[in-house]
């Protein structure tokens, strides 16, 4: 693996989670110094120590991305520790409630939008001045396949991740001429600890509608993030990149009774694959 990000400072939110952890590890392997931001310090401690043992400069910060003041303080502290942020990865996300829309409470709705949409806005706004001054910056927003197709009984999550695509487009329109790229990644089902705890019938059904017939790996998302943060991706801007094993495609089968039977069997859990 090369050192495409040598000399760069990368900030990863939600760094203690499955995808965030893999992103941090990959960016460190590419040579970046790491700013890890998460709501809970214990989620970052082990990761930070492992990265430091490998020779990566690391600065950790506890902050709620939904709180503008906490975000500003964290970015300022990170700047003092490692220097201005060159690459921002807005990975922190939340699903506050899974329920029919009519039963979604005001606080739950507000919290999901605050973390999943307003949070990235806070981070982008905080790092942009330094990026503009240096005429170089990389912003990667982790959205979701739900941003395009919706997600059953997860209206807040779907709406907030869709809004993140609009934010991505506007950053590109306003700042591309100043050497800054802003792209969105739309993961499908990724094998995080949360996904691994899904009830088998739910997992099997998701796999039956995914052409790849497996969940994605966090390392695969991290590899895409690393590319988008590199100089090689300088002309890729305002893009919405699916990483979903083809699950965004129409899953209907009208020309093969055998394939229909195999999918029904998979959905019923008769031959679960991972």
What are the catalytic residues?
157
Strands (DSSP E) along the chain, which ranges? 9-13, 33-38, 58-62, 87-90, 137-142, 180-187, 240-243
* Listed residue (80, 78, 73, 170) closest to 122, CA to CA: 73
Q: With contact defined as beta carbons under 8 Å apart, do 257 and 32 qualify?
A: no
Q: At what angle do helices 18-29 and 218-228 cross, to 10 degrees?
A: 50
d(CA 134, CA 46): 33
* Listed residue (172, 162, 101) closest to 137, CA to CA: 172
Q: With contact defined as beta carbons under 8 Å apart, do 141 and 168 qualify?
A: yes
Which residue in the block uniquely carries the two structure tokens 């100089």?
Answer: 231
Which residue in the block uniquely carries the two structure tokens 């009519």?
Answer: 102
Which residue in the block uniquely carries the two structure tokens 């203690």?
Answer: 16
């Amino acid at each position: 693996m090369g050192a495409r990000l040598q000399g760069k400072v990368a900030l990863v939110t939600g760094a203690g989670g499955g995808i965030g952890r893999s992103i941090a590890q990959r960016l460190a392997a590419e040579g970046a110094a790491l700013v890890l931001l998460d709501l809970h310090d214990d989620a970052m401690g082990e990761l930070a120590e492992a990265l430091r043992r490998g020779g990566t400069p690391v600065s950790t910060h506890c902050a709620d991305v939904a709180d503008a003041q906490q975000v500003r303080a964290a970015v300022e502290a990170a700047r003092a520790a490692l220097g201005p942020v060159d690459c921002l990865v807005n990975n922190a996300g939340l699903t506050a409630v899974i329920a029919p829309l009519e039963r979604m409470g005001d606080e739950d709705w507000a919290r999901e939008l605050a973390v999943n949409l307003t949070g990235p806005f806070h981070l982008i706004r905080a790092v942009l001045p330094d990026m503009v001054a240096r005429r170089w910056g990389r912003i990667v927003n982790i959205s979701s396949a739900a941003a395009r197709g919706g997600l059953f009984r997860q209206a807040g999550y779907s709406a907030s991740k869709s809004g993140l695509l609009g934010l991505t487009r506007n950053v590109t329109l306003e700042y591309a001429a100043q050497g800054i790229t802003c792209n969105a990644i739309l993961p499908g089902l990724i094998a995080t600890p949360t996904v691994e705890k899904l009830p088998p019938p739910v997992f099997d059904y998701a796999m039956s509608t995914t052409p790849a017939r497996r969940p994605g790996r966090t390392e695969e998302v991290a590899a895409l993030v690393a590319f988008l943060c590199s100089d090689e991706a300088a002309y890729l801007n305002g893009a919405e990149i699916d990483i979903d094993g083809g699950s965004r495609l129409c899953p209907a089968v009208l020309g093969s009774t055998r394939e229909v039977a195999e999918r029904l069997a998979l959905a019923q859990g008769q031959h679960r694959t991972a």
